[in-house]
């Protein structure tokens, strides 16, 4: 619907920005930290763009005060960052590594001293290698008590100072990349195992949320889901059905579990028919149903148009574009279920991510109607080539992307969605897991590249000053 007048953003709206430990910190073995699965995976030849790794990243571990000072100048209301599990428990469990905990404690104090609300992601993909070695990490249910113990340590250490917690970042992404595409650790291609691992992650998520509520930690907790809303390419009922399939298997399959504690029926039928069904143990269903997130975190980058894909001879999983050459990504699909096709109604980035601001509104409306839960946008942003010119970066394309998405969120709020915050991806430029430093997202340019020998100088881009004004006017000037 069109609104004659849009509702304003709530007065306490969290205008934020986000990052993740491995992508910014560096210092992988400092102050007692031991390896995470990413510290090792990046050393396998051919796994990352030009062999980039996070050994230095953008050196946030040593420069966090400088980074927070720039946040203050920007006027950020909140900052979402993740904790590296192996800084807190170098072996995944056992004795707490106090210097590791102190790093995050100091960061939180620094944020609070500058009136910035910390939003803490408990897990953004960097599993301690020790747990991978001991029991194959997510493949074993042993991860449940170890994860809960880790999360409880953070809850107790930071309670009262941290009000917003993200349990898992993009469970749908790390499980698919790790066990279907082999592009993230542990680099496997095993569809059945993927569904089993994913079920364990659901149990972890539920157990952590329950622990948070049992301990009466003041604040709110929820998972962050990478939601790519599915459309049909046209009104052909076969294509509409394909889009419904994609929505059921790639969206509701996670969000229904988070918000309603049940797996969607069509998805379960598909798994059973294809011998992909995971083991459910006694008590699992009850655990999933008993957990109630306070909000749903949504990472939104793009939508997806879908078409019919025949069971015989249909398109399979294809190559992702990690080259930055527009049009180099292959078609993706599951025969008999769906295939993703190019949407002629929208433009795309150099990495073939479809630019669709209205998609974030559609996403928010679907979530509001289906789950009636508040949403925190935990990521949204544009990855592009940025080039500094005389100590300035003119990223008008990023301003256009962000501004149109914020406007669309305002429209969703006017439609009735409850949105508590907006975190751009990302605060500074950082290491893209698979794309090195050529694909940049930050408000702040960092002089770092694939040689990993940059000066690490920080340069606020034009988008930094644009966002400063957005925050100052509480979203009235976009």
Just list the catalytic residues: 170, 379
Comparing CB distances to ligand BG6, the nearer of 427 and 466 is: 427
Asked if 252 interacts with ligand BG6 (CB under 6 A), we say no
Tokens for 136? 């194959």
Q: Which of 2, 13, 8 is nearest to 423 (CA)?
A: 13
Q: How far is the CB of 181 from ligand BG6 (least distance, A)?
A: 12
Q: Strand 458-460 relative to strand 338-341: parallel, antiparallel, unpaired?
A: unpaired
Tokens for 274? 């294809």
Q: How far is the CB of 20 from ligand BG6 (least distance, A)?
A: 5
Among positions 439-458, residues that touch ligand BG6 (CB under 6 A) are 439
Q: Which of 86, 299, 309, 428 binds ligand BG6 (CB under 6 A)?
A: 299
- What's the DSSP call for residue 476? S
Asked if 303 interacts with ligand BG6 (CB under 6 A), we say no
Among positions 35-94, residues that touch ligand BG6 (CB under 6 A) are none
Asked if 173 interacts with ligand BG6 (CB under 6 A), we say yes
State how far the alpha carbon of 86 is from the alpha carbons of 27, 57, 135, 153, 179, in Å. 12, 17, 16, 13, 22
Q: How far is the CB of 170 from ligand BG6 (least distance, A)?
A: 5
The gap from C-alpha 70 to its chain's centroid, in whole angstroms, comes to 23
* Only segment of 67-75, 191-199, 328-336, 428-436 that touches ligand BG6 (CB under 6 A): 428-436
Asked if 176 interacts with ligand BG6 (CB under 6 A), we say no
Neighbouring CB atoms inside 10 A of 137's CB total: 24
Tokens for 280? 């459910």
Ordered strands of the 304-307 beta sheet: 230-232, 304-307, 338-341, 332-334
Q: How far is the CB of 439 from ligand BG6 (least distance, A)?
A: 5
Among positions 263-292, residues that touch ligand BG6 (CB under 6 A) are none
Asked if 170 interacts with ligand BG6 (CB under 6 A), we say yes
* # residues contacting ligand BG6 (CB under 6 A): 14
Q: Which of 162, 155, 133, 131 is nearest to 145 (CA)?
A: 131
Comparing CB distances to ligand BG6, the nearer of 81 and 433 is: 433
Q: Which of 432, 438, 448, 463 binds ligand BG6 (CB under 6 A)?
A: 432
Q: What end-to-end distance do the CA atoms of the chain give, in Å?
A: 21
Neighbouring CB atoms inside 10 A of 408's CB total: 21
Q: At what angle do helices 60-74 and 462-472 cross, to 10 degrees?
A: 50
Asked if 349 interacts with ligand BG6 (CB under 6 A), we say no
CA distance 152 to 142: 16
Asked if 352 interacts with ligand BG6 (CB under 6 A), we say no
H runs (alpha helix) in 218-283: 237-247, 253-260, 265-273
* Only segment of 39-47, 68-76, 261-269, 427-435 that touches ligand BG6 (CB under 6 A): 427-435
Asked if 356 interacts with ligand BG6 (CB under 6 A), we say no
What CA dihedral angle connects 130, 135, 141 and 147, to 10 degrees? 0
Residue number of the CB atom closest to ligand BG6: 432
Asked if 26 interacts with ligand BG6 (CB under 6 A), we say no
Comparing CB distances to ligand BG6, the nearer of 245 and 380 is: 380
Omega before 6 within 30 of 0, i.e. cis: no
Strand runs labelled E in 146-232 = 164-169, 220-226, 230-232
Comparing CB distances to ligand BG6, the nearer of 36 and 239 is: 36
CA distance 382 to 397: 8
Comparing CB distances to ligand BG6, the nearer of 83 and 413 is: 83
CA distance 259 to 398: 32
CA triple 164-166-170, angle to 5 deg:
150
Q: Which of 433, 443, 466, 467 binds ligand BG6 (CB under 6 A)?
A: 433
* Only segment of 100-108, 167-175, 196-204, 462-470 that touches ligand BG6 (CB under 6 A): 167-175
Binding mask 365-384 for ligand BG6 (x = CB under 6 A): --------------x---x-
* Only segment of 3-11, 126-134, 168-176, 250-258 that touches ligand BG6 (CB under 6 A): 168-176
Tell me which residues touch ligand BG6 (CB under 6 A).
Answer: 20, 169-170, 173, 226, 299, 379, 383, 425, 432-435, 439
């Amino acid at each position: 619907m069109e609104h004659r007048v849009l509702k304003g953003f709530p007065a306490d709206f969290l205008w934020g920005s986000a990052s993740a430990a491995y992508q910014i910190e560096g210092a992988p073995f400092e102050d007692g930290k031991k390896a995470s699965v990413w510290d090792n995976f990046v050393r396998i030849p051919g796994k990352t763009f030009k062999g980039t790794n996070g050994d230095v990243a953008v050196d946030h571990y040593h420069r966090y005060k400088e980074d927070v000072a720039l946040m203050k100048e920007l006027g950020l209301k909140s900052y979402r960052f993740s904790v590296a599990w192996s800084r807190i428990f170098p072996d995944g469990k056992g004795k707490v590594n106090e210097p590791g905990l102190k790093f995050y404690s100091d960061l939180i104090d620094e944020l609070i001293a500058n009136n910035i609300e910390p939003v803490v992601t408990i897990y953004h993909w960097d599993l301690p290698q020790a747990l991978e070695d001991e029991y194959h990490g997510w493949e074993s249910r042993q991860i449940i008590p170890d994860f809960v113990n880790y999360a409880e340590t953070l809850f107790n250490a930071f309670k009262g100072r941290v009000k917003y917690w993200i349990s898992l970042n993009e469970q749908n992404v790390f499980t698919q990349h790790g066990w279907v595409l082999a592009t993230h650790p542990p680099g496997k291609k095993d569809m059945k195992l993927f569904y089993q691992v994913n079920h364990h992650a659901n149990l972890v998520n539920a157990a952590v949320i329950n622990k948070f509520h049992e301990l009466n930690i003041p604040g709110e907790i929820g998972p962050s889901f990478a939601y790519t809303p599915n459309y049909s390419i046209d009104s052909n009922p076969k294509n509409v059905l394909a889009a419904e399939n994609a929505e059921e298997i790639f969206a509701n399959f996670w969000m229904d579990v988070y918000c309603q504690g049940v797996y969607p029926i069509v998805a379960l039928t598909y798994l059973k028919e294809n011998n992909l069904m995971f083991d459910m143990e006694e008590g699992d269903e009850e655990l999933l149903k008993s957990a109630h997130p306070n909000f749903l975190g949504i990472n939104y980058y793009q939508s997806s148009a879908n078409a019919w894909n025949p069971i015989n001879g249909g398109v399979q999983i294809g190559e992702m574009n990690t080259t930055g050459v527009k049009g180099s990504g292959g078609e993706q699909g599951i025969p008999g279920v769906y295939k993703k096709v190019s949407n002629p109604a929208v433009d795309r980035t150099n990495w073939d991510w479809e630019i669709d601001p209205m998609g974030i509104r559609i996403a928010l409306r679907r979530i509001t109607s289906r789950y009636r839960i508040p949403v925190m946008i935990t990521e949204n942003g544009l990855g592009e080539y940025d080039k500094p010119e005389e100590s300035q970066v003119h990223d008008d394309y990023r301003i256009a992307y962000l501004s149109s998405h914020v406007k669309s969120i305002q429209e969703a709020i006017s439609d009735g969605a409850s949105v508590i915050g907006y975190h751009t991806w990302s605060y500074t430029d950082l290491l893209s897991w698979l794309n090195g430093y050529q694909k940049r997202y930050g408000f702040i340019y960092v002089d770092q590249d694939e040689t990993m020998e940059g000066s690490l100088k920080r340069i606020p881009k034009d988008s930094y000053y644009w966002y400063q004004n957005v925050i100052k006017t509480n979203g009235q000037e976009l």
